[in-house]
Amino acid sequence: MNLQGFVIQLLSGVSTGMVIFLIAVGLSLIFGTLKVLNLAHGALYMLGAYCCYWVSSSLSHLPGSFWLSLIFAPLMVALFGGIVEFFLLRRMYNREFLEQFLLTFALILIIADLCKLAWGVDYQTIDTPWPLEGAAIWGSLIFPWYNLFLILCGPLFYVGLWMLLNRTRLGRVIRAVTYNREMANALGVNVPLVYTAVFMLGCWLAGMGGALVAPMSAVMPGMDAVVLIDCFIIVVIGGLGSLSGAFLGSLIFGLVTAFGIMVVPRLAIAFGFILMMVILIIRPWGLMGKPE
């Protein structure tokens, strides 16, 4: 295969990775701080996509409707997440792992069906927004502008999150609670509030991921399942609870899948799992996580 094809695959892999990064990092943060594996994360991503579609099509008469929905959709998902955390998830923090698993699984069922109820089973699409329609052309290389935009979003959010966690007071509080909940509590931190905040942040990120993906692929039932499993793979590779790990994991995942499809298309799906399996066997806490 030629250089062009290689570069396209590379870019393609990276752009896929960067979108999933947003969702994976939310999952990782939630696990790192709340110690809960939020299975519903994929469904929240889907909710974000649907909300984006909804806002976008409702405001389609306005210019920049997509960009407006990019503001609102993640907020809607975050709000939903906040309500869920407050009324349901809170009761589960001291419960057994299986019960937490089943709660978040139940949320998947509920969110997915609510989406079906609200928007039907047909797939929905959003047009690529101005000014990102069309593709960049460089010599004989053709790559969609929107995908390039997505590649840019990844590091942007990574830096933004890093700044949030390491340079703001809120970030410090979050890190304190993640590191030692009892101690933070004793020092006067309102731990339940922090939990809610982190959960909402995670949901916001998932919603943002969904919204960003909407112009690129169809919004439809079932999109949550694939993403969820990909997220698991990424957070395992990168390390549950690690921001950089999620970023690195997403890149690796994106690239491995893209090149996997090139080399052995039928088994490409399994590549991610095999990678996950290998990491769990030789280094369970992931590339950038810490052994417990």
Residues near another protein (CB under 8 A) are 31, 37, 88, 91-92, 95, 97-99, 101-103, 105-110, 112-114, 116-117, 225, 229, 232-233, 236, 240, 266-267, 269-270, 273-274, 276-277, 280-281, 284
Q: Which is nearer to another protein, 167 or 290 (CB)?
A: 290
Q: Phi, psi at residue 284, to the nearest 5°?
A: -55, -25
- Extract the tokens encoding 129: 């927004």
Smallest gap from residue 90 Cβ to another protein (A): 11
Shortest reach from residue 72's CB to another protein, in Å? 25
Shortest distance, CB of residue 165 to another protein, whole angstroms? 22
| Structure-token match 């997509």, residue found | 66
Alpha carbon distances (Å) from 22 to 28, 71, 110, 210, 244: 10, 15, 22, 9, 12
Three-class SS string for 155-204?
HHHHHHHHHHHHHCHHHHHHHHHHHCHHHHHHCCCCHHHHHHHHHHHHHH
Q: Residue 106 or 136: which CB sits closer to another protein?
A: 106
Sign for the CA dihedral angle at 60, 64, 69, 75 comes to negative
Between 81 and 154, whose beta carbon lies closer to another protein?
Answer: 81
Closer residue to another protein (CB): 116 or 167: 116
Closest distance to another protein from the beta carbon of 180 (Å): 17
